[in-house]
Every structure is written in structure tokens, then in C-alpha cells.
Amino acid sequence: MKKKYDLLIKNGNLISHNGSTITDIAVNNGQITDLGDLDKRNADSVFNAKGLTVLPGLIDTQVHFREPGFEQAEEIETGTRGAVLGGVTGVFEMPNTKPPTDTIENLRVKIDIAEKKSWCNYAFYIGATTNNIEELHQIEKSPGCCGVKIFMGASTGNLLIPDDSNLEKILSNVSRRVAVHCEDNQRLEERKHLRESDSHNHPIWRDEDTAYIATKRLLDIARKLKKRVHVLHVTTAKEIELLKLYKDIATVEVTPQHLTLSAPSCYDNLGNYAQMNPPIRGEEHKLALIKAVQQGVVDILGSDHAPHTKENKNKAYPHSPSGMPGVQTIVPIMLDHVSKGNLSIFNLVDLMSYSPSKVFGLINKGRVAVGYDADLTIVDLNLKKSIANDWIVSKCGWSQFDNFKVTGWPIATIINGGFVMKEGELLSKPENKQFKFFETMQNN
């Protein structure tokens, strides 16, 4: 006879909206149906989470999975496999593929692949181009779309909106929050001669002002038009000071790379493998970003998982591409920051679960509460492990965090009530993985 609960997670320390509590969590048909001291005789299956910490499913809102077009570096299957092995329950994927995700048809191609192959929840950004500005307001409302992405400075791929006039047109035409890569393209062009010899010059070419100028241009336009923007991978102390003044319209993302690595040691140790856009900068910027996390100026942590093959990374700078992987390591790296006291576990839940769900308007995510989807990341806050390249399943086959010793590790990834990863083993792919958003609800 079917019992009252499909799954009961017993005795875990739950970190959620109402603090930290030892509680049992009951799951039925993919949703959380009860919390409290619950009888295990009522459950078909029981997971003993004693000594473990249970978090609402952690979401990575910035990944590049390269499919279609650059499958030698990543596919949706391998990227999402890395996500769940690393304790991530869902991803928002970027549009700079080949072809780019710039039409409903190209969005559909990715959704079709993800429906069959994704290991976790997913949604896709639509890339703004000078050719799709008029249609963006329709495309952004498509199911499976998390919003529009703008590249103000050229990076991997050919998506680019370098000028204020098109930026204004795009922001005027859309209604959802727009995610933006802020580097001033004119300044990048003017300073190209600085890209000499090796990757130590990367943050000199793409300097602090390159980021600041673009961020300021974006914020002024957004405030004038009363539009919401999400400033991706913020890297400078000066941008943080500015962004504090724009909390009415702008949310802020930082990456684990910019919180963990700094120049010049990252380029001494990793060379082109530390090359990304916007670049890893000096220690003073890293410390300013950590403080911005502690003070709540940062809204979201995203990995900017941007894998490139070793063959391409080994090309002589500046012919080497920018970007590093990160979807599989974001949780262990950030748990290690928790263990070091750089942020609390409550901060982490806010930055990777509650806030993504609030900022992007996700339905039924971001809380462990009755009636919400049973997406959970279960972690051991005390487990000490080393990150190693042979654990990384990304097709690129490397991590900038190879050999990093961390305290804190993901033990299980539960999506829609089912274990997708348990103690490092992959189990079955979840059903109904497409994220739903309030702003696309009429079209779902």
C-alpha cells in the first residue's frame, strides 16, 4: 500500500527562510508536503540527514554550455551532469552558442536538447542583437526563457551591443530583468595594443575603467527608462561603490573566481587558464567583493561556467579564449568561503537560491516550505576534500581549482523530490525540469 510520503528526509539541519532548525522534510509528488517531527513508518523511502545541512536547491544563474556549436568544449548533458555532481539543482544558460540563442527557433533547439538530456532544472537566456530588438519583448516571454542577455563588450562569440542607442532601444522594448556583461567596447578596441606577451596583461587591457564605464552607462540608461538590470560578474571596488547607489533598479552578480583568485598570482600559477572576461584583478578588488557579499550589495553568485578546450587555452595569449569552468565547483568553493567566515551559510542560501528565485521570478523555488518544489542541496559543512581535475566531468577536462583543499562538500542533489546525486553517485534524471517564471506564466 502506498504510504503517506514518497520520501522523508530525517534529522537534517535545515537552513531556510525561518533560520536553522533540525527538522524532517516530507516529499510527495515532487513537492514538500510537511515539515516537523515526522514518523518514518509513513514513508516509502527515508534518507537519514543527521549531521548534514539541508539547503533549498542551489541555482547557478550564469553558465555557458556551448551546445549547439562548440560541443568539443561542453554539451548540455555534460554541463548539467557537472552541476548536479556539484550540488546545483538548476542552471540558466547563456546565448553565445553557434548559432546564438537569438530567435524563438534557436531557443527551441536548446529546450528540446535539455528536455531529453538535462540532469537539472534549466532555462535559457535570449541574446540581444541589433536584428532582434523588435521581437525581444515576445521572445523573452517564451516558456524556458529566463530573460535577455546583453554583451556591451565583445567576449566569446559574436553577440555585441556596443552603443547607447541600441542599449536604450533594447531596454525600452523589454519588460523582464535584463542580464548584462558590462565592459566598454570602444575602450577595449582602443587598448588592444596592450594585449602583449602573456595573460598578465589581460587585466591591463580590460582595465577597471573598461568595466566601470560600461556599468555606469547601463545604470544611467536603466534608471532613466525605469528598467530592471542584472549586472553580471562585477569585478571592481569602484563598481561596487556605484552599484550601492542603484539598488532600486540593479541587482549584482559576482563569481567564485573573483572571490577566490587574484592577480598577479593567478596568472603566475595558471597562465591563460586564469584568463576570463571581465578579468581576475588585484587582491584589493577581491577583498572589496567579499565585503560586498557580506554587506548584501551582491544579490547573486553565478559561476560563469565558460569551458574551453585545453588545445584552445594553450594557444599563445591573446589568441587563447577567455573563460573557465565552474558549475561543478561553485558549491564546494563557496562552502569553503563559509568555513573561512567570509559569508554565512544563510548568505549562501540567499545568494544561490532565494535571491535568484526572487530576482528572476521563479515559481515554487527558493524556499524549503510546504507547497514548494522539493529541490534540495544536502551538504556536509565539515567534510574536507580536495577538488581534482579527475572529478570534473566538463568536456574541457580541467578546473582552475584543481588541488584546492576545501572544507564543505555537496552530499546529495534532490530535484523535484528525486535523488539525482547521492554521495557522489549519479542516479536518475528528473522529470519536469524546465524552470517556470511568473512573467512567462501565461505562455507556460
Residue number, 40 or 315, with CB nearest to ligand DOR: 315
DSSP E strand stretches across 152-249: 178-181, 229-231
| CB 73, min distance to ligand DOR, A | 9
* Distance from C-alpha of 349 to C-alpha of 40, rounded to nearest angstrom: 27
Under DSSP, the state recorded for 247 is: T
Binding characters for ligand DOR, 273-292, by CB under 6 A (x = yes): ---xx---------------
Q: Which is nearer to ligand DOR, 6 or 74 (CB)?
A: 74
Residues 76 to 115 in contact with ligand DOR, rule: CB under 6 A? 96
Asked if residue 64 lies in contact with residue 74, where contact means CB atoms within 8 angstroms, the answer is: yes
- Minimum gap (Å) between residue 57 Cβ and ligand DOR: 25
Q: Which amino acid is at 59?
A: I
Nearest to 347 by CA among 259, 239, 246, 421: 259
Among 43, 306, 327, 421, binds ligand DOR (CB under 6 A): 306
Residues forming beta bridges with residue 415, ordered by sequence position:
418
Q: Which stretch binds ligand DOR (CB under 6 A): 82-90, 160-168, 320-328, 416-424?
A: 320-328
Instruction: Name the minimum Å distance from CB 277 to ligand DOR.
Output: 4
Residue 413 cell numbers, joined:
542533489
Q: How far is the CB of 181 from ligand DOR (least distance, A)?
A: 5
Is residue 23 within the footprint of ligand DOR (CB under 6 A)? no
Stretch that binds ligand DOR, among 18-26, 29-37, 316-324, 353-361 (CB under 6 A): 316-324
Q: Which stretch binds ligand DOR (CB under 6 A): 100-108, 195-203, 318-326, 329-337?
A: 318-326
> Which set of grid coordinates corresponds to residue 279?
578579468
Element spanning 91, H or E:
strand 88-93
Place of cell 591563460: 272
- By beta-carbon distance, which residue lies closest to ligand DOR? 323
CA 243 to CA 218: how far, in whole Å?
11
Q: Residue 273 or residue 435: which is nearer to ligand DOR going by CB?
A: 273
Q: Please report whether residue 8 would count as binding ligand DOR according to CB under 6 A.
A: no
With CB under 6 A as the contact rule, which of the stretches 170-178, 193-201, 210-218, 315-323 interacts with ligand DOR?
Answer: 315-323
Cell numbers for 41, please give them: 513508518
Residues contacting ligand DOR: total by CB under 6 A: 11
Least Cβ distance, residue 155 to ligand DOR (angstroms): 4
* Chain centre distance of CA 372: 21
Contact of 61 with 356, CB cutoff 8 Å: yes
Could you say which residues in the range 39-68 bind ligand DOR, by CB under 6 A? 64
Nearest to ligand DOR of 125, 437 (CB atom): 125
Residue 89 or 156: the one with the smaller Cβ distance to ligand DOR is 156
Selection from 440, 393, 441, 444 nearest residue 138 by Cα: 440
Q: Between residues 23 and 277, which has the closer beta carbon with respect to ligand DOR?
A: 277
Residue 97 Cβ vs ligand DOR, minimum distance, rounded to whole Å: 9
Taking CB under 6 A as the rule, does residue 155 contact ligand DOR?
Answer: yes
Q: Are strands 418-422 and 31-36 parallel, antiparallel or unpaired?
A: unpaired
Instruction: Report how far residue 246's alpha carbon sits from residue 342's, in angstroms, rounded to the nearest whole number.
Output: 24
Binding range to ligand DOR, per CB under 6 A, among 4-12, 39-47, 319-327, 332-340: 319-327
Active-site positions read 304
Restricting to residues 179-198, name those near ligand DOR by CB under 6 A: 181
322 binds ligand DOR (CB under 6 A): yes
Residue type, 254: V
CB of 364 to ligand DOR, least distance (A): 30
Considering the complex, state which of residue 121 and residue 156 has its C-beta at the smaller distance from ligand DOR: 156
Determine if residue 25 is left, alpha or beta; phi over 0 gives left, psi from -120 to 50 gives alpha, anything else beta: beta
324 CB-near residues (< 8 Å, 6+ apart): 257, 273, 274, 275, 276, 304, 306, 307, 308, 399, 400
Nearest approach, Cβ of residue 256 and ligand DOR (Å): 14
Q: CB nearer to ligand DOR: give 13 or 155.
A: 155
Q: Is 33 helix (H, G, I), strand (E, B) or coil?
A: strand
Please name the residue ranges forming H helices in 123-195: 136-139, 164-173, 185-190
Stretch that binds ligand DOR, among 37-45, 312-320, 321-329, 381-389 (CB under 6 A): 321-329
Contact (CB, 8 A) for 114 and 434: yes
> Which distant-in-sequence residues (6+ apart) come within 8 Å of 279 by Cβ?
202, 203, 206, 235, 263
323 is a contact residue toward ligand DOR (CB under 6 A): yes
Task: Using CB under 6 A, list all residues that contact ligand DOR.
Answer: 64, 96, 155-156, 181, 276-277, 306, 321-323
